[in-house]
Structure 1
Amino acid sequence: MENRWSPNKCSGMRSPLQEENSVAQHEVKCLGKPLAGIYRKREEKRNAGNVIRSAVKGPLAPFPNQKSEATEPPKTPPPSCDSTSVAVAKQALKKPLKGKQAPREKSQGKTQQNRKLTDFYPVRRSSRKSKAELRSEERKKTDELIESGKEEGIKIDLIDGKGRGVIATKRFSRGDFVVEYHGDLIEITDARKREALYAQDPSTGCYMYYFQYLSKTYCVDATQETNLLGRLINHSKCGNCQTKLHDIDGVPHLILIASGDIAAGEELLYDYGDWSKASIEAYPWLKH
């Protein structure tokens, strides 16, 4: 009867174990793919949670007969929707906003460039008066002197060879109001009648002053004796006064102003302007 030995029954003699027949090797082969899958899932979870690791150790060393899939490094999964949206939001914050803000910044720049010096320093008003203001003040002053009838800075005095005359008691500057040639303001027709009447009396002096105003001839008749001194100022071709028309509310007034600087004590003189032969024959002093 042939004896057959069964490996399960024989405890003494056994063939040496080979690696390819090892149970442990079979278990490792069976566990190769599951380990790689588990690693990938872990990596995906880490990337989805935006957890950054400083260093990742290499995969476990495969066994000799393990497939090449376990030796390859795991592929990084595509970024999730959350990480993509976060990156887009960061880029949007870095970029300058387009639209209405850009022109607003430009407009602010323009307003800053268009600022004036007066925005930083106060305006200093000059205390000097303009020529128009000075003329207006001088005119008002003359109106007051004429309407008040005051005659300041002059007096009556006896002049050798002339009789009565007027001298200055104060200094007058050029252009200053001196006195008004006050009398009756009449038209030319009435003036001619009075002049004919005065001619009948040789003792009556000539105190009639003719002038043009608004294309019309008028006369100031100062023949009647009054206490006003304008009618007593004597004639001279080189006088220190001159006549000037000054209207108040449309009414002309004949005034005398200083044609130059007049010192106190100096006689006031002006040119009568009547150089006709008849006048010179009647009043020879008109030549001088």
Structure 2
Amino acid sequence: MPERSSPKVISQRSVTVKQLRTPVSRPKTRRSPLRKRQTKTKEEDMDNSQQDIRKYFRVRGKRKTASELKKIESDKIEEAVLAKQEEGMEIFHCDVKGRAVRAVRPFKRGEFICEYSGELLTHKQGIERERMYNEHPERYGSYMYFFQFKDVSYCLDCTQDNGRLGRLLNHSRRNQNVQTLSIGVQGRACLIFKALRDIEVGEELCYDYGDRNPLNIDRFPWLAQ
């Protein structure tokens, strides 16, 4: 009997393997438009959430620079000087110093108090005027203030009573709560008072005259206090 040959399985298997190894071309993947719509929806959701947050929390705006804040403060003081603002003060009688000024409302540190208003003189004119006043001390008080503004020396003579409160602020070396500041208002040198610290209602408004002349201290002993 003739021998039966076994089927060639190996050759078929090799073909099958070769077919499996043949690279299969795949279509290029494209981003579905649905995903774009989903991304846009997320952005919209973020905007909506930020709007919801603004409803409950105050969002800080753009901060002003130091120069801008300084300009705002300078304009505010200039308006007060031109308007002759003297609010929150009253005159009262002091046994030692005579007339004095006290606060009738609180003042914050650095707040504008009032202007030291008087006749603006040059430094030379102020020296001559002071010499004349010293010849008649019984007729004239101490209302001369020498100061500098932009490297120029001036003198404010407030001897003449003009009804302004600034000229009535008394001296204190120990309990001063007001300080002077030289500024320019419409090209004119001015002297103003600002709160040196927080001032309570009822406090007398005082500043340091800076007068250390022994003769003046003998005449006005309260200059040493």
Fold agreement, TM-score > 0.5: yes
CA distance in 2, matches of 1:129, 1:267: 37
SS at structure 1 position matched to 2:86: coil
Letter in 1 for 2:212: W
CA distance in 1, matches of 2:61, 2:78: 25
Aligned to 1:260: 197
Letter in 2 for 1:286: L
CA distance in 2, matches of 1:192, 1:146: 26
Change beyond 3 A, Cα 1:171–1:129: farther
Report the alpha carbon displacement of residue 174 of structure 1 after superposing the two structures with TM: 0.2
CA displacement, residues 20-71 of structure 1 (integer Å, 9 cap, x when unaligned): xxxxxxxxxxxxxxxxxxxxxxxxxxxxxxxxxxxxxxxxxxxxxxxxxxxx
Q: Could you list the runs of 5+ residues in structure 2 that have no partner in the other structure?
A: 1-24, 29-42
* Cα RMSD for the two superposed structures: 2.9
- Is 1:286 matched with 2:220? no
Letter in 2 for 1:265: G
Report the alpha carbon displacement of residue 216 of structure 1 after superposing the two structures with TM: 2.0
- Pick the structure with more strand per residue: 2
SS at structure 1 position matched to 2:99: strand
- Is 1:138 matched with 2:67? no
Aligned to 1:110: none
Taking only the aligned residue pairs, the percentage that are identical comes to 40
Q: TM-score, normalised to structure 1's length?
A: 0.55
Match for 1:245 among 179, 182, 202? 182
- Is 1:233 matched with 2:163? no
Counterpart mapping for 1:70-149 below 5 A: 126-127=60-61, 129-130=63-64, 131-149=66-84
Aligned to 2:145: 209
Report the alpha carbon displacement of residue 129 of structure 1 after superposing the two structures with TM: 4.2
- Is 1:161 matched with 2:81? no
Instruction: Flag the structure with more relative contact order, 1 or 2, with Cα contacts below 8 A and sequence separation at least 6.
Output: 2
Q: Could you list the runs of 5+ residues in structure 1 that have no partner in the other structure?
A: 1-90, 96-116
Aligned to 1:3: none
CA displacement, residues 106-133 of structure 1 (integer Å, 9 cap, x when unaligned): xxxxxxxxxxx9xx869x9733643443
Q: TM-score, normalised to structure 2's length?
A: 0.70
Aligned length: 179
- On the 8 A contact 2:178/2:197 being kept in 1, the answer is yes
Report the alpha carbon displacement of residue 161 of structure 1 after superposing the two structures with TM: 1.6
CA distance in 1, matches of 2:178, 2:82: 21
Report the alpha carbon displacement of residue 140 of structure 1 after superposing the two structures with TM: 1.4
CA distance in 1, matches of 2:75, 2:153: 26
Higher-Rg member (1/2): 1
Aligned to 1:29: none
CA distance in 2, matches of 1:172, 1:128: 29
